[in-house]
Amino acid sequence: MKKTTGTDRSKTAHWRPATRAVRAGTWRSEHGETSEALFLTSGYTYDDAATVAARFAGEAEGMTYSRLQNPTVAMLEERIAMLEGAQACRAQASGMAAMTTALLCQLETGDHVVAARAAFGSCRWLVDNLLPKWGIQTTVIDGRDNAAWEAAIRKNTKVFFFETPANPTLDIVDLEAVCSLAKAHGITTVVDNAFATASLQRPMEFGADVVAYSATKLMDGQGRVLAGAVCGSDEFINEVLLPFQRNTGPSCAPFNAWVVLKGLETLDLRAHRQSANAMEVGRFVEERVPHILHPGLASHPQHDLAARQMDAFGTIFAFTLDGGREQAYRVLDALELIDLSNNIGDAKSLMCHPASTTHASMSAEARAEMGVHEGLLRINIGLEDPADLIEDLDQAFAKAGL
Ligand SMILES: *Cc1c(COP(=O)(O)O)cnc(C)c1O
């Protein structure tokens, strides 16, 4: 294997994001293939026993087992790290493997975590159920409220955990304010950046310590595989996260890493085109529904903040209907082009009812507090022509009495 210029930070630091997305991290075999090779192997062989011993001792470069290292996975890790502006990255089996690993690798019994209440359902489950069960205290706050972050800090607060924009209500957390507050108190910020990706928002530029991903979403972008990633400093990734990951095994499968690696080549194009489509469709929807949550529209209470920290506003927005679940279901059931699906980040436009799907495992009170009302619908805008999406929504809205 030959590492290309893309793996040499001293030669790639000046590369612009679109170049990094296509080139960063590439290795080539002796065949000189243009497309990154898929190393579908769990193990490795060695020329002699001394080499094996040296590799196991960490004294010689080289791989020993795909739970620990794999060339295809390594290419993905370097590419994501370069896109993020991070020193290091470790790929994970899924977004939830990434979130769980990023939290558990650094927390212990007696620690305290402050988390934003608007979050992906399983992220809330970690905060509400898993961490407390293991003696880690958690406080859930309104992530939009900078004073609430400060008020929740205790002597033993170790981590701030949030996503922005948040799923599914598109709450925005002030990255600069919350990350600098955390820094001042020696607290590690863990940001779930799945909705935006580095193409639209780079939390580390605002002081975030750890950025974690579901790569299943916009990074793959075509709804094919589950994968995740955690980015951070060399010290965090290699000394805190890696010992946990190597021994617990949430590693990314080489095939899934390869699919995401190829997805990253078009990430910048897709993220920007889908964001533009989501603006166009959002403007149409705003005229037809009582309440829309779209960070790109002036009607979003945090529009200015979103504009400060995001390059574009993402592929997802939500809206609430006065007719509750019944009217929301009527819209979903009338769709002809847009698919009824709970996935996001896909090139296909997808719509779902969060209260009965992604956020169904939460209590009704927690849902109400988060703003996940019975009439809320979430839409991921894909790469179709927005005029066709608008026509489909137009006929579905009419059938639902809107
Ligand atoms: C989907 C998602 C996750 C979980 O990712 P998986 O790849 O499905 O495990 C976590 N956070 C956010 C914001 C997500 O959208």
Q: What is the pLDDT of residues 258-281, one digit of tens each?
A: 999 999 999 999 999 999 999 999
Atom of ligand 1 nearest to the CA of 217: 1
pLDDT of residue 351: 98
Q: What is the distance between the alpha carbons of residues 184 and 146, in angstroms, rounded to a whole number?
A: 14
Q: Is the pLDDT of residue 282 over 90?
A: yes
**188-192 vs 27-28, strand pairing mode:** unpaired
Q: In angstroms, what is the span from residue 398 Cα to ligand 1's centroid?
A: 32
Check whether the bond before 165 is cis (ω within 30° of 0).
Answer: yes
Pocket test for ligand 1, best of 96, 100, 344 (most atoms within 8 A of CB): 96
Extract the tokens encoding 248: 């617990």
Q: Is the pLDDT of residue 321 over 90?
A: yes
Which protein residues are within 6 Å of ligand 1, measured from CB? 94-96, 99, 120, 122-123, 163, 167, 192, 194-195, 214, 216-217, 226, 228, 344
The amino acid sitting at 351 is M
Which of helix, strand or coil describes residue 332? helix
* Average confidence score pLDDT of the chain: 96
Q: In angstroms, what is the span from residue 325 Cα to ligand 1's centroid?
A: 24
Average pLDDT over residues 38-43: 97
Confidence of residue 12 (pLDDT cuts 50, 70, 90): confident
Instruction: Using alpha carbons, select from 187, 195, 138 the residue that is nearest to residue 164.
Output: 195
Nearest residue (by CA) to ligand 1, atom 11, is 120
**Which pLDDT tens digit goes with each residue over 47-92?**
999 999 999 998 999 999 999 999 999 999 999 999 999 999 999 9
What percent of the chain is predicted at pLDDT more than 70?
100
Average pLDDT over residues 169-198: 97
Nearest residue (by CA) to ligand 1, atom 4, is 95
Q: Is the pLDDT of residue 3 over 90?
A: no
Average pLDDT over residues 221-231: 98
The amino acid sitting at 42 is S
Confidence of residue 17 (pLDDT cuts 50, 70, 90): confident
Nearest residue (by CA) to ligand 1, atom 7, is 95
What percent of the chain is predicted at pLDDT more than 90?
91
pLDDT of residue 220: 98
Average pLDDT over residues 350-365: 91
Q: In angstroms, what is the span from residue 171 Cα to ligand 1's centroid?
A: 16
Q: 């020193």: which residue's tokens?
A: 87
Do 383 and 271 contact (CB within 8 A), yes or no? no
Average pLDDT over residues 108-134: 96
Do 10 and 39 contact (CB within 8 A), yes or no? no
Considering Cα of 266, then 272, then 273, then 275, what sign does the dihedral take?
A: positive
Confidence of residue 400 (pLDDT cuts 50, 70, 90): very high
Q: 């009495």: which residue's tokens?
A: 401
Q: What is the distance between the alpha carbons of residues 392 and 79, in angstroms, rounded to a whole number?
A: 37
Q: In angstroms, what is the span from residue 272 Cα to ligand 1's centroid?
A: 20
Q: What angle do CA 331, 335, 341 make, to 5 degrees?
A: 90
Extract the tokens encoding 247: 């021994």
pLDDT of residue 129: 95
Q: In angstroms, what is the span from residue 384 Cα to ligand 1's centroid?
A: 23
Q: What is the distance between the alpha carbons of residues 175 and 181, in angstroms, rounded to a whole number?
A: 10
pLDDT of residue 339: 98
Q: In angstroms, what is the span from residue 114 Cα to ligand 1's centroid?
A: 19
Atom of ligand 1 nearest to the CA of 194: 13
Q: What is the distance between the alpha carbons of residues 373 and 101, in angstroms, rounded to a whole number?
A: 31
β-partners of residue 27 are: 3
- The lowest-confidence range among 91-95, 165-169, 237-241 is 165-169
pLDDT of residue 6: 84
β-partners of residue 352 are: 378
Average pLDDT over residues 240-251: 97
Confidence of residue 363 (pLDDT cuts 50, 70, 90): confident
Which of helix, strand or coil describes residue 352? strand
Q: In angstroms, what is the span from residue 220 Cα to ligand 1's centroid?
A: 12
Q: What is the distance between the alpha carbons of residues 236 and 242, in angstroms, rounded to a whole number?
A: 8
Q: Is the pLDDT of residue 294 over 90?
A: yes
Q: Is the pTM of this model over 0.85?
A: yes
Average pLDDT over residues 393-397: 98
**Which pLDDT tens digit goes with each residue over 186-217?**
999 999 999 999 999 999 999 999 999 999 99
Query: Taking the CA of residue 382 as centre, how many other CA atoms within 13 Å lie in the half-sphere pointing to its CB?
Result: 20
